[in-house]
Amino acid sequence: MNNYLNDTTAFDPARIAKASRAAGPLALWVKSIVEYSEIFHSITPLRNELKGLEAEEARMLAKQRELDAEIVHLEASIEDLKLEFAGLIAKVENIKNDMKTVQAKVARSVQLLANLSSERVRWEESSKNFVNQMSCLVGDCLFAAGFLTYIGFFDHYYRKYLQSEWRDTIDQVSLKMRQEMKFVEFLSSPSERLEWEKQGLPDDELCIENAIIMLNYNRYPLVIDPSDQAPKFITTHYAKQKIQKTSFADDGFMKHLETAIRFGLPLLVQDVEKIDPVLNSVLNKEVQKAGGRVLIRVGDQEIDYSEAFVLYMITRDPNAMFTPDLCSRVTFVNFTVTPSSLQSQCLNIFLKAERPEIDKKRSDIIKLQGEFRVKLRQLEDQLLNELTEAEGNILNNTKLI
């Protein structure tokens, strides 16, 4: 058929149309039908292929939708895994921090045990001694009260004698007290004694006892001081309180007395051979309250009385005689030099004159030793306070450790 149609000599639509008007269009129609048939036969496989591709496309789209759904599910799973992973990382960090905290606590506990091991023996001994101290507290306080009230008048030798007599008396009434108790240790601290030494108080037992009596009185002290040791100490001790010095022979005595009483200033009355009667009301502390004011009559006038007022009276006469009624209104403090204290002071003067470098070294060592004792006591007290006031777990207190 194709050979026939392609043969222009045998099949020419134009020639056919010239020969017959009816056959010409029919020839064109036949030719078109043949070409259509050829084209139709040629595109049929393509149509079939297109249908196959469309079916494949539909299958792939369905597969895509399945994969998209799976991707969404996997992404959701990934987010869940990320959150779980973050949670696990946080747990790991918490565990690491807990481990560091535990290790730090262990290290602190080991350090604390090591640091307190040296204190354990002392604390155990102190704890055992505390029971004995409590059982002897009444006797010790009675002994100390007698010391502060009565013993200041006597010299060093007679004080020792009285203490021995008092111990025997306390034993006779079956009142317990510590036989090894020392007034100096019981009534003062190392820091106080070191401060007194800096203020010019001689470093011997008699002077320290006298300082304790002068600073823990109920009745104003009357000091017997032939060697003139007490005024220097009293003046230095009350320097910050602006102590005033006067005497009964001073024309301004009454003014000094009134000022000291009114403003609570320390007053040092020197060269007291006899007591001026104007002091009777002061020595007796005859105060009265009027409308919220505390008043005391001095001479012929009433003035405001301050609780901070301090009165010291000093005489240089070791043989001064005082009336019995005065003895009951003052606290006597005897600074008369004893052979032992005089020997100690002479040795110090001799050493300072002959070997000043050794005396300076000795003084520095004694001072340093006293400072160390004070510092040790302060640290001990601070440690006990910190341990007592510590809140929560003690191992968490880095400052305390």
Residue 105 has a pLDDT of: 79
The pTM of the full predicted model, rounded to 2 decimals, is: 0.62
Residue 340 has a pLDDT of: 66
Domain range summary for the chain, segments of one domain joined by +: 2-95, 218-336
Give the integer Cα–Cα distance in Å for 284 and 301: 16
Give the integer Cα–Cα distance in Å for 153 and 150: 7
Give the integer Cα–Cα distance in Å for 287 and 302: 10
Give the integer Cα–Cα distance in Å for 279 and 85: 90
pLDDT band at 325 (very low <50, low <70, confident <90, very high): confident
Give the integer Cα–Cα distance in Å for 168 and 129: 23
Q: CB neighbours (10 Å) of residue 94?
A: 10
Residue 366 has a pLDDT of: 72
* Chain segment 179-196, per-residue pLDDT in tens: 777 888 888 887 788 888
Could you tell me what percent of the chain has a pLDDT over 90? 16
pLDDT band at 5 (very low <50, low <70, confident <90, very high): low
Residue 3 has a pLDDT of: 59
CATH class of 218-336: alpha beta
Beta carbons within 8 Å of 81's beta carbon, 6+ residues apart: none
* Chain segment 367-399, per-residue pLDDT in tens: 777 778 778 778 877 877 877 777 767 766 767
Most confident of 96-110, 217-231, 343-357: 217-231
